Amino acid sequence: MASNLKNLSDFSHTTVPSGQAFKFGIIVASWNAQVTGALYKGAYNSLLKHQVLEENIISVEVAGSYELIAGADLMLAKKQVDAVICLGCVIQGETRHFDFICDAVANGLANVGLKHTKPVIFGVLTTDNLNQALDRAGGKHGNKGDEAAITAIKMADLNTSLS
Ligand SMILES: Nc1c(NC[C@H](O)[C@H](O)[C@H](O)CO)[nH]c(=O)[nH]c1=O
Ligand SMILES: CC(=O)[C@@H](O)COP(=O)(O)O
């Protein structure tokens, strides 16, 4: 697997624009809080590291990854943010529920972004087990929260450059 070959958060911080001018929403799911809490810390700290102001970060919590869809939609409808970062962790159980949740969240978040013409960043882990999730929430494969924050800054900067 490609992910076994490198830290998935391996990117050059020199290519990340300053986030000082931007405002971000972070929606974090409570399901698998040990993982999503680590994703949130990674994302929040990464935004600050790239000059985003604390007062320009609006964080809200939702029950599960499926509610990220409504959370992102409400955030974009009610707050003037440049991008929304959605953080969740869906872990395979005994049934096909995993498949339905993952597909719904991926497609739902994409549609919310198109509806509002704003970047909605998919920071949702979809793993076979808890260990795979922990490896990607500050473990050997980096932190998807970091990646999501960097992506949000880059997309906000892109949006500005195209204005
Ligand atoms: N099993 C996981 C869930 N399930 C809950 C759904 O996300 C949703 O809250 C429920 O179906 C009610 O609408 N959520 C996760 O984030 N992670 C899981 O592993
Ligand atoms: C992804 C889920 O909703 C899953 O964790 C639920 O577990 P199960 O498929 O055993 O009901």
Walk along the chain (163 residues) and give the pLDDT tens digit of each residue.
445 545 545 555 558 999 999 999 999 999 999 999 999 999 999 999 999 999 999 999 999 999 999 999 999 999 999 999 999 999 999 999 999 999 999 999 999 999 999 999 999 999 999 999 999 999 999 999 999 999 999 999 999 999 8
Angle at 42 between CA 55 and CA 78, to 5 degrees: 40
Strands (E) across the chain are located at: 24-29, 57-62, 83-91, 120-127, 137-139, 142-143
Tell me the binding residues: 31, 65-67, 89-91, 94-95, 122, 136
Q: Say what the pLDDT of residue 2 is.
A: 46
Nearest ligand 1 atom to the CA of 36 is 16
Q: Say what the pLDDT of residue 5 is.
A: 46
Q: Are 137 and 35 in contact (CB under 8 A)?
A: yes
Q: Which amino acids bring their CB within 6 angstroms of ligand 2?
A: 90-91, 93-95, 97-98, 101
Domain 22-36+50-162 belongs in CATH node 3.40.50.960? yes
Q: Say what the pLDDT of residue 15 is.
A: 86
Q: Are 52 and 24 in contact (CB under 8 A)?
A: yes
Q: How far is the CA of 34 from the centre of ligand 1 (A)?
A: 15
Of residues 159, 163, 115, the one with CA closest to residue 23: 159
Q: What is the pTM of this model?
A: 0.94
Probe target for ligand 2 pocket from 66, 94, 97, 101, with the most ligand atoms within 8 Å of CB: 97
Q: Say what the pLDDT of residue 138 is.
A: 97
Q: Say what the pLDDT of residue 14 is.
A: 59
Residue whose tokens read 């960097």: 150
